[in-house]
Structure formats: structure tokens, C-alpha cells
Structure 1
């Protein structure tokens, strides 16, 4: 597997609180240069970013991020606003407390409402695996499958741990047909990326792989 095969499933990501437009623009330029699947950026920059890339790159943003405990109405509004501003992919965070309370119907209903608000655009559901039991992870595979969302995603990258090989394997085994898996958080090498892909990850959330390419003869020979 060559680097381009890996990069084409990467959401090149910058979600730090201090992100400036200059930094976002660099993410966009690099994502276009290296042919990543999307650039995942804060919602406040979506409109400017969509105008800047002018259709050359899908813009992804995050909803209810990173804690997931906004009201459903708030998340739905965020989603509609992001789509109106040009986002083509949405990564939402579930209400983890509701999951732990066993309020499964409410968790599913929220995902369904946000998926509807996506208006045909891709929805990835972040379940924050590092905070869940194995049983809760499996339950979320079931809920996401029923919701119609396109992806289940491991992590925000803002909690105590990111994606693990074990979690991706577990999720791939328990999601229904047509649901894809995104691994995010802590993916720091192409070797790790390839292992996540082998285990069933269809998308990777990271900024480090593009940084590696830039450090290697500034991407020469790519």
C-alpha cells in the first residue's frame, strides 16, 4: 500500500481552540495538495473554507464537539448552519451520559434528527470509545446502524485516549451493512494507519500523516 492510498481516506484535521485562518488555510492547501478525503475544521471557518477551496475539497466540521451534551435542538441547528455554509460532511458527538443512562431511544432519535438535517451529506457519529464499556460500544454500533448514519467514529481526540486497534476491530464486527468506521485520535504513523485500514477503518482522522509527507522532502516524489 502506498502513501496516496492512505491519504485518500484521511480527514486532514485541525480542531484546536486556537486555530487561526492562516492555520486553517494551510490545512486546506495541504489537503488539496495531498489528495485527502476532506479537511475537518471548526464550524466558524466552514463558509470561508468552502469559498476558498471552491469545490476542490470536501469540507467537514464537528457538531456538539467535543463533549456531546448540547441539546438535540442545538445540535440540529449547528448541523443545518454548517450545511448551509458549505459543509459536505458532519462529525457529531453523541450524548454519552444518555447512553450510560440507558436512554437508547433518545440517543438514536438525536442521531436521526441530525442525519435528516445533513440533507444527504455524510454523517459520522463520534461515540468516544475511551469513555465506554465494550457493551456500550456494541450498543452504539447497533444504534448507529439503525439511525442510517454513514459512519461510526471512535473519538474526538480531545478526551483521555484516541482510536485503538481493538476498538476498530470491535466496531467493524458489530456495525450493520453499509455503515463505515472512522478511526481518529493518536494516529501518528503510516504503519498505524495501514493497520487501522486492515482492521476495517474506512476513514482516518489525523493531521500527522500529511505532516510526515511535508517533512519528507516537502512531499517530493508524491
Structure 2
């Protein structure tokens, strides 16, 4: 059975992270998110205050990014950035872990880096981006375990700016690695409803997407088709 349009909308973080977006385009993106009832928008740090104002009273959360997109800023900078963004009104933080340190096997550094951001977020949801395109499966598993140890709420596949994005294999691996207390977010390449539904089946519960309208419109159309079929079948029975 297909999920409802409302259910899928509440799985989507509408992504507004392209570096070339104008202020007007960010406002338009916030309007789209509000009209479609997405879970959140995910905006660039400099756009947080704008998004907070644009989405006031809509129920759509404002998310933003820290250490984006490479993850190699100092922990102190990530902490300062997180605190400033929380003060500006951010509800959720998507941080990039230190990819090079993870690939080097420096587990303590990666865990402490994440934990510092979690603490700075003051109880707000923290999603940790591993950037799986650069990692082996063993490194992905290690990253997931460190995310959970550090107290974050989500593991996330990708920034959307690396050579590859979310894959079924990665979602299955991440879901199998973390406990039920940790959720999995897919980002990068989630452009169609079929892709999203496949990733839901694999264990993802949140999605970074720019093709939000197309995904939700496709789902609405399929529901209309299902209702038409049911009516036709019922008419035939009589």
C-alpha cells in the first residue's frame, strides 16, 4: 500500500543548499515547503534567519548545515557555528563528520567532534553526514557506530556534493549497523518517488531532496489512479 502524500512530505527535508541560490529563490523554496507540508527545509547557514521568518507558524522546521560540505573545519569552529545557528533559530543541524579522520581510523577524534556538536545543539536534532562516496564499507560501519556513541539522532549518507549519493546498499548497511534509536537519512540522488520508496523499504526515514514537488505530485497522481481503479471495479460489480 502506498503511503499518503502527507506521510511522505513529513519524511522530506526540502534542500536549499546550492551555493548559487538567490535570496528570492530561498524564499520560494520555503514557500514550496510550507505549501507541501514537508518536515523541514535545509538551508545554508546564512539563510537560517530568513527561513525562520518565512516559515513562522507553518510547522515546517528549519534545518541547516555545519562543517559543510567537507567536514574538516576545527571542532571549535563547528561548535561556534552550531551555537550561532541555534541562536538564529535552527531546529535541526546536519553536520559533516571529519571524513579524512574517519578514513584514517581516528575514531576518538571523529566521535569527540560529533559529540561536541551534539552538546552545542542543546537537545536539537543532529544528523551526521558520513559522505559515503569516499568510504569503504568498514569505514561506513565505523562512522555509524561513532555517530551513535556521540549521541546524535541520525546517520546520513551524503551531502549531495560528492561523486555519489544515497544507495540501497548503503541504507541497508547503515540501518543494520545502528540501533533502533538512531534513524537513517538518505540524501544525494533522491529525485523520484520510486527511489524514495525503495529507500524507505531499506530503512531510511528522512530524505534530503530538491525534487520535492515532483515526488509528491507523482504520489498524488498514483493515489488518484488507485481511487479510479477502485471505483471502476465497484461499478463493474453492479
Alignment of 1:138-157 (within 5 A): 138-157=141-160
Q: CA RMSD in A?
A: 1.8
Match of 1:8 among 2, 10, 31: 10
Greater Rg by CA: 2
1:4 and 1:179 map into 2 onto residues whose CA distance is: 23
Do structure 1's residue 192 and structure 2's residue 195 form an aligned pair? yes
Matched, 1:90 2:90: no
Task: Give the Cα separation in 2 of the matches to 1:181 and 1:203.
Answer: 7
The 1-side partners of 2:121 and 2:154 are apart by: 13
Structure 1 residues 1-222: aligned runs within 5 Å: 1=2, 2-56=4-58, 57-213=60-216
The SS at the match of 1:22 is: helix
Residue ranges of structure 2 left out of the alignment (5+ in a row): 225-238
- Give the Cα–Cα distance (whole angstroms) in 1 for the partners of residues 218 and 25 of structure 2: 17
Aligned partners of 2:31 and 2:54 also within 8 Å: no
Q: Deviations over 1:92-128 (max 9, x none)?
A: 0011111111110010001000000111110000000
Moved over 4 A (4+): 212-217
| TM-score, normalised relative to structure 1 | 0.94
Q: 2 CA distance for matches of 1:119 and 1:49?
A: 20
1:3/1:190 contact within 8 Å kept: no
What is the CA-CA distance between 1:214 and the residue it aligns to? Answer: 6.2
Which residue of 1 is the match for residue 236 of structure 2?
A: none
Deviation at 1:51, TM superposition (A): 1.7
| Number of residue pairs matched by the alignment | 219
CA deviation after TM superposition for structure 1 residue 3, in Å = 2.9
Contact 1:138–1:171 (Cα < 8 Å) also in 2 = yes
Structure with greater contact order relative to length (CA < 8 Å, sep ≥ 6): 1
Counterpart CA distance in 1 for 2:25 and 2:185 is: 24
> TM-score, normalised on structure 2?
0.88
In 2, Cα distance between equivalents of 1:215 and 1:170: 28
Confirm or deny: 8 A CA contact 1:163 1:184 kept in the other structure. yes
Asked if the contact 1:142/1:176 (under 8 Å) is kept, the reply is no
Deviations 1:112-165, CA, capped at 9 Å, x for gaps: 000001111100000001110000001111111111100000000000000001
- SS for the counterpart of 2:171 is helix
Cα separation, 1, equivalents of 2:88 and 2:168:
35
Which residue in the other structure is 2:232 paired with?
A: none
